[in-house]
Amino acid sequence: MSFRSDLKQLLKPYYWINILLSISYVTCKRTALICNFLFPDVDCELDSRETEILFFLIIVVMLRTRKAGSVTMVNYLSASFVYTKIANLILWLYADVRYGLPYGAILILAALLLPEPTYTGSEHITYFRGLQTLEDDLKCHKNIMWIICLYAAWHPACVNFAPVFAELSASYRLDNLKFGKIDVGR
């Protein structure tokens, strides 16, 4: 995916809402007007415990996104949303339970109402139900070369690879070169 298509992807409501939820606590705590309204008794600075939580968040996001193999900006953001929202929930609960509980309810609503967008571009992929259907197709069409992707719908690396494989199938499909997928999770 190009940088331009990544920016187009970021215009979807899922990303805007999750970015706002991910930066909500730090923004509210560091903006004087909001901070004085929400936290009238405390200084509008992050205390040592809040700073520790944020540094721990940075380390976890860095390690988890690196392990997941996030190579694009969109994949990196999607992988980090879960951790940043949980850290924000902890920070809101640490500040005041009356702020943490509504924030948690908003997180649940956002997760239910705004699922992560999936790839919607063109693809030329044959989905095989199992090895037997693949073998049958190979026997019938001996002159066709297949590129087969073994995937599991629940695995983050497979989810991140799906748009790349779909774009490859749309770009390089020929009469004698086809793309296929087998779900190994079934």
Residues 101-155: pLDDT tens digits?
A: 999 999 999 999 998 888 777 888 988 888 888 888 888 888 889 999 998 888 8
Mean pLDDT, range 156-167, rounded to an integer:
84
143-171 mean pLDDT: 87
Q: If phi over 0 gives left and psi between -120 and 50 gives alpha, with beta otherwise, what is residue 119? A: beta
How does the average pLDDT of the chain come out, rounded?
Answer: 87
Nearest to 59 by CA among 78, 31, 87: 87
Structural domains in the chain? 3-113 (no CATH), 125-183 (3.40.30.10)
User: Is the pTM for the entire model greater than 0.85?
Assistant: no
Q: What phi, psi does 149 have (nearest 5°)?
A: -110, 120
- Arithmetic mean of pLDDT, 6-32: 91
pLDDT above 80 for 19? yes
- Written as one string, the DSSP assignment of 35-52 is HHHH-TTS-SS--HHHHH
Percent of the chain whose predicted confidence (pLDDT) is above 90? 42
